[in-house]
C-alpha cells in the first residue's frame, strides 16, 4: 500500500482517451484544463494541512491493459487502483 495519498497525473495528450473510456464521471470533467485545476486545488489543500501526496503518472495504454487483464470495466475507481499498483512497482 502507498505510504501517502495517491494523486493521479494524466498527460494532456492522453486525457481524451481516459475521458472516452470513462464517460460521464464527475472526477473527469469535460476538459483537461478543468481537471488540472481541480487536481491542483486538491493537492494544495492537502499540502496546506501539512499532508504529503504521492503523485503517479498514469498512461492510457497501461490502464487499458490493466482493465483487460483484470476483466474490469474502466471506471475512476479502477483508474485509482491502477495508480496505486503503479505507485508500488
Averaged over 60-88, what is the pLDDT? 95
Dist CA 70 CA 73 (whole Å): 9
Is residue 2's pLDDT more than 60? no
Can you give the pTM of this predicted structure?
0.86
Averaged over 74-87, what is the pLDDT? 94
When computed from its CA atoms, the radius of gyration of the chain, rounded to whole angstroms, is: 13
pLDDT band at 3 (very low <50, low <70, confident <90, very high): low
| pLDDT at residue 4 in the model | 61
Amino acid at each position: 500500500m502507498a505510504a501517502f495519498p495517491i494523486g493521479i497525473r494524466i498527460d494532456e495528450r492522453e486525457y481524451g482517451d481516459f475521458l472516452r473510456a470513462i464517460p460521464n464521471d464527475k472526477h473527469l470533467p469535460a476538459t483537461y484544463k478543468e481537471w488540472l485545476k481541480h487536481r491542483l486545488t486538491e493537492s494544495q489543500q492537502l499540502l496546506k494541512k501539512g499532508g504529503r501526496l504521492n503523485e503517479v503518472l498514469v498512461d492510457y495504454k497501461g490502464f487499458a491493459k490493466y482493465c483487460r487483464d483484470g476483466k474490469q470495466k474502466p471506471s475512476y475507481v479502477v483508474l485509482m487502483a491502477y495508480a496505486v499498483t503503479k505507485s508500488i512497482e
